[in-house]
Structure 1
C-alpha cells in the first residue's frame, strides 16, 4: 500500500511539473516572443560563424602540420648528410693518424738502426 501511494505522488508531481513548465513557456512566449526569435536567429548566426571559423582553423592546422612534417623531413635529410660527412671526416683523420703512427714506427726503427750504426 505504501508503494501505491509513492507511485501516485511521483506521477502527480511529474504531471504538475510538466503543466507548470508549459505554462511558463507560454508566459515567456507572450512576454519575450519577438526577442526570443531575435536571440535564436543571432545564436544561429553565431553558431554558423563559429563552425566556419572552426573549419578554417582546422584547415590552417592541417596546412601547418604538413609544412612541419616537410620541414622535419628536410632537417632529417640534412642531419643524415652531415652525419655521413662527419663519419667520412673522422675515418679520413683516423687513416691519417694510422699513417702517422706507421711513420713514427718507421722513424723509430731508423733511429735504432742509426744508433747501432754509430755505435759500431
Structure 2
C-alpha cells in the first residue's frame, strides 16, 4: 500500500510521483495508445450508428412492402369474389351447374393458395 509522505510541511502523494515517472518514461507511447484507442472507439460508434440507421431504413421498407402486398392481396381476392359472383349470376337461377360451380371454387382455392 502506498502511503502519503510529509515533506517540508507538505503532504505529497506517492501516487502522483509514480504517475509523473510513468509519464516521463512512457508518456509518448501512452498518449499514442490513448489517441489510437479514441480513434478506434470513435470509428466503432460511427459504424454502430450507421448500422442502426440502416436497420431502421430496412424495417420501414419491409413494413411498406408488407402493407403493399396486403393491399394487393385484398384487391385480388375482391376481384376474384366479384368474378365468381358474376359467374354465379349468369347461371340459371333454377338449377346451378354443379360442375361449373365446383370448377369456380377450385380456381378460387388455387388463386388463394398462390397468394
- TM-score between the two structures when normalised by the length of structure 2: 0.55
Q: Which has the higher contact order (CA 8 A, sep 6+)?
A: 2
| TM-superposed deviation, 1:49 | 1.6
- Relative to structure 1, the CA distance from residue 101 to residue 57 in structure 2 (aligned partners, 3 Å threshold; closer, same or farther) is farther
Report the counterpart of residue 94 of structure 1 in structure 2.
85
Count of residue pairs brought into register by the alignment? 86
Distance 2:47 2:79 in 1: 48
Distance 1:101 1:65 in 2: 56
Considering fraction of residues, name the structure with more helix: 1
RMSD of aligned C-alpha atoms? 2.8
Report the counterpart of residue 49 of structure 1 in structure 2.
40
| TM-superposed deviation, 1:69 | 1.3
Report the counterpart of residue 108 of structure 2 in structure 1.
none
Considering fraction of residues, name the structure with more strand: 2
**Larger Cα-atom Rg:** 1
| TM-superposed deviation, 1:52 | 1.9
Gaps of 5+ in 2: 1-5, 97-115
- Relative to structure 1, the CA distance from residue 46 to residue 71 in structure 2 (aligned partners, 3 Å threshold; closer, same or farther) is same
